[in-house]
Amino acid sequence: MRPGHNRNFTLWVVILGSLTAIGPLSIDMYLPAFPGMEAELGVDPGAVELTLAVFFIGTACGQLFWGPLSDRFGRRPPLYVAMAVFGTASLGCALAESVQALAFWRLLQALGGSAGMVISRAMVRDCCAAREAARVFSLLILVMGLAPILAPLLGGWVSVHLGWRAIFTTLALFALVCLLAVRFGLQESHDIRHEPPLNLARILRDYGGLFGNRAFLGYTLSGGFAMAGMFAYIAGSAFVFIQLGGVSQVDFGWFFGANALGFVLASQVNARILKHFAPTRLLRHALWAPALAGLALAVFTALGQFSLAVILAGIFVYVSSLGFIAPNASACALATHGQQAGAASALMGALQFGLATLTGMGISLLHDGTARPLAFFLAVCGLLALATHRLLVHPHEGRRR
């Protein structure tokens, strides 16, 4: 199945984008409710942020599970199970009476929701070559990019008028919609007739082979470090914007959405210029933006300065550049792994969310009442993304030329 440029192709992109958006929705929707959740659950500031790190851990581990399953049984059957798990866990979050219970249900929620991300990427690889895949990934960002734009606005409104628990009820309803969309609107894209039975040794061998592939690892880590900076921003933005910048819970969504809009617009520019430039070239140049933006913010905050306008400008540049980095890095990493698309997508997602987990935990643990931890992690992630690409990918591209 290779979707054509017609209504079926549009529906295919919308469904895959919605499945991919489960992660951003689950993360961004409850960010404005952090202060209220901490007050109701009776925990110190920063405690609820740890449930974000738990979600990252569950997402990383879950992708390693769903990837091989989707290679063996096809893309759709695992999605049925995963959406049911995600919906049930979302209701568990809505009923949680302690931060420990919330963390448990968030872990289970992440395990289910991670399938949407890993299997969507695998389906794109099933149907598209590298340049076309990069364009489709850019279009997926257009769909899933609505999540970080609308989710904080919706989450802020829901938390103020209905309470934070209603946020998770909304996520459960979204899972039901996705389940119906997969059942009635998504065709199977992976031929499993010649797939061998599941075997742990073979799965580990496949993952080991991917780890040994220098180009795959380079593209994955360069994209992963850059995206980890965005997760640092997600984890620390509520405190920086609301507590330090004086932004209200409702208005927080507008600031957060502006950065998400930059991400989406950049991805659409990327989709257009892919007609003229290879994804490898676009990625190579785009990686300079988060490195320089993060470094500038780190220097600014290290001098003891705070200006909401400066913080917003630096973050906007960082997040917007990901619209060029994320789709091209994903397409390049998966380009030569067609039969193992599920496993390759899983390992790529696991590594990236593993890095996101470290940044999320780091923001919480280094919390010092200033914007310095956020700026520090943006700088580190941006510089590591650039360095990883230069060390692992750039020599590989040179040999190919």
- The CATH number of residue 137's host domain is 1.20.1250.20
User: Which of 30-34, 340-344, 395-399 is predicted least confidently?
Assistant: 395-399
Section 80-99 average pLDDT: 94
pTM of the model: 0.74
Average pLDDT score over residue span 386-400: 75
CA distance 91 to 172: 6
What pLDDT was estimated at residue 336? 67
Output the pLDDT for position 389.
92
Dihedrals phi, psi of 272, to nearest 5 degrees: -75, -45
Which segment of 194-208, 272-286, 291-305, 344-358 scores lowest on mean pLDDT? 194-208
pLDDT in tens, 142-181: 776 677 677 777 888 888 888 889 999 999 999 999 999 9
Terminal-to-terminal C-alpha distance of the chain? 32
CA-based diameter of the chain, in Å? Answer: 62
Arithmetic mean of pLDDT, 339-367: 79
Bigger pLDDT: 351 or 150?
351
Tell me, yes or no, whether 196 lies in a domain.
no
Is 191 within the bounds of a domain?
no
Nearest to 388 by CA among 335, 351, 341: 351
When mean pLDDT is compared over 104-118, 241-255, 346-360, the highest value belongs to 104-118
Residue 224 covered by a domain:
yes
In terms of residue numbers, what domain contains 72?
8-185+213-400
For the segment 261-281, the average pLDDT, to the nearest whole number, is: 88
Tell me whether residue 72 is in a domain: yes
Q: Exposed, middle or buried, 399 (CB in 10 Å: 0-12/13-18/19+)?
A: exposed
Residue 107's pLDDT band (cuts 50, 70, 90): very high
Reply yes or no on whether the pLDDT at 15 is more than 80: yes
Considering the chain, what percentage of its residues have pLDDT values greater than 90? 28
Lowest mean pLDDT among 2-11, 15-24, 185-194: 2-11
Q: Which of 26-30, 237-241, 250-254, 267-271 has the lowest mean pLDDT?
A: 250-254
- Asked if residue 65 has pLDDT above 90, the reply is no
| Position 397 confidence tier, pLDDT thresholds 50, 70, 90 | low
Query: Looking at residue 394, what is its pLDDT?
Result: 66
The confidence score (pLDDT) of residue 196 equals 67
Instruction: Assess whether pLDDT exceeds 50 at residue 401.
Output: no
CA atoms of 229 and 319, how far apart (whole Å)? 8
Number of domains in the chain: 1
Kindly state whether residue 208 falls inside one of the protein's structural domains: no
pLDDT at 222: 92
202 in any annotated domain:
no
Could you give phi then psi for residue 386, rounded to 5 degrees? -65, -45
In this structure, of 42-56, 60-74, 134-148, 285-299, the range with the lowest mean pLDDT score is 134-148
pLDDT value at residue 339: 59
pLDDT band at 52 (very low <50, low <70, confident <90, very high): confident
pLDDT at site 340: 67
DSSP 305: -
Position 203 in a domain: no
- How far apart are alpha carbons 338 and 147 in whole angstroms? 29
Q: What is the pLDDT of residues 194-242, one digit of tens each?
A: 666 777 787 888 788 888 888 888 998 999 999 899 888 887 888 888 8
CA distances for 341 relative to 83, 349, 359, angstroms: 21, 12, 27
Other Cβ atoms closer than 10 A to 339: 15
Task: Output the pLDDT for position 376.
Answer: 93
Tokens, residue 32: 């404005």
What's the mean pLDDT in 45-66?
83
Residue 88 lies in a domain: yes
DSSP output for 184-225: HH-------TTPPPP-HHHHHHHHHHHHT-HHHHHHHHHHHH
Per-residue pLDDT at 1: 43
